[in-house]
Amino acid sequence: MTSDQKGIEFPVEDGRIDLLAVDSQGKFVVIELKLSHGRQKVLGQLLYYMAWVDEHLGKGPCRGIIVASEISDALRASIRRVPGVSVAKYKMAFSIERIIS
């Protein structure tokens, strides 16, 4: 990752990482965003991206995070077996405020 690249859709062979970040210790963090349920197949996708980052960008083993509005019990169970991978749930809300009547 070069200084002119932003942490958005980092291209890799066979896909794009949604967000590629660097944590406070200088290690890469692969973040996979899902619009709805975190499905089990996302785990395979995330692991591929993590392996690609480790192999091509170095800096030691990276971490991975799956972010979705809902996390299935099956995905939670699967994640518990994979070190370096976590899940996060997002909640979205917005309001509309009339500015000019």
Tens of pLDDT, residues 12-32: 888 899 999 999 999 999 999
Partners of 10 in the beta sheet? 17
Q: What is the CATH number of domain 10-89?
A: 3.40.1350.10
Per DSSP bridges, beta strands 19-22 and 28-33 are antiparallel
**In the chain, what are the domain boundaries?**
10-89
Work out the end-to-end distance of the chain between its first and last CA atoms, rounded to an integer number of angstroms: 47
- Mean pLDDT of all residues belonging to the chain: 86
Backbone φ and ψ of 63, nearest 5°? -105, 165
**Is the sign of the CA dihedral 75, 80, 82, 85 positive or negative?**
positive
User: What's residue 85's pLDDT?
Assistant: 97
Query: pTM, whole model, 2 decimals?
Result: 0.80
Query: Is a pLDDT exceeding 80 seen at residue 38?
Result: no
